[in-house]
Amino acid sequence: MNRNWLYVFSSGILEIFWVSGLKHSETIAGWIFTVAALACSFYLVVLASRQLPVGTVYAVFAGIGTGGTVMVESLVFGEPFKLLKILLIVVLLVGVVGLKMVTANTEKATT
Amino acid sequence: MAWLALVGAGCMEVFGVINIKRLSQQKWDALVYMMFTFGLSFYLLTYAMKTIPMGTAYAMWTGIGTVGAAFVGMVLYGESKSWKRLVFVVLILGASVGLKFVS
């Protein structure tokens, strides 16, 4: 587990916070926290991308963000759990991760 | 209206990404465009999430942004149009349309 992967995982976790913040912030402090989390999260992605393949970094980042927001939404904010909705989100995620991975590999092949 | 805002947020994200690319080529006006488009994207996402569940909205926002970036890459920057990439694009779009009808 090297430092760059730590950046990627941290950025994904932060992403869950800022997405929740965008939806649920009601105070000035809440908004400041949300914007700070957003800035840190993207800064960490850029930092990690300098050392690791961009496609892979973004795929993991989006994966943690998507899975995390769905989980937090059900567990913390009490959104009803619909199986079909979860399935569709999983399909969408497969598409995003797949596209990023394929893109990363073709970029590697040409450079 | 919320769904329209979400699609708009995804598109704005794509413009933001294009400007990151332009910024890396040292076109400094891109910095202004980048801040404006990302700002608008997050604003529209926030607006959409007032009515659309958070997980659904976020997944679609990421999906539209990803598809848009791939599309721009293929059209403007000559990235590969391999069938694998197109299959994933269709998956994302299909799932997004499905989510719209389930929500």
| Domains of chain B, residue spans | 1-102
Chain B residues within 8 A of A99 when measuring between CB atoms: 66-67, 70, 85, 88-89, 92
Taking the CA of residue A28 and the nearest CA in chain B, the distance in Å comes to 15
Provide the pLDDT for residue A109.
46
Domain count, chain A: 1
CA nearest to B55 within chain A: A70
- Residue A62, domain extent: 3-109
Provide the pLDDT for residue B83.
87
Q: What tens digit of pLDDT does each residue of A71-90 get? A: 999 888 888 888 899 999 99
Measured between alpha carbons, how far is residue B11 from residues A51, B17, B19, B35, B68 in Å?
28, 10, 13, 14, 7
Calpha distance B64→A56 (Å, rounded): 18
Under an 8 A CB cutoff, do A69 and B46 touch? no
Question: pTM of the prediction?
Answer: 0.86
Provide the pLDDT for residue A106.
54
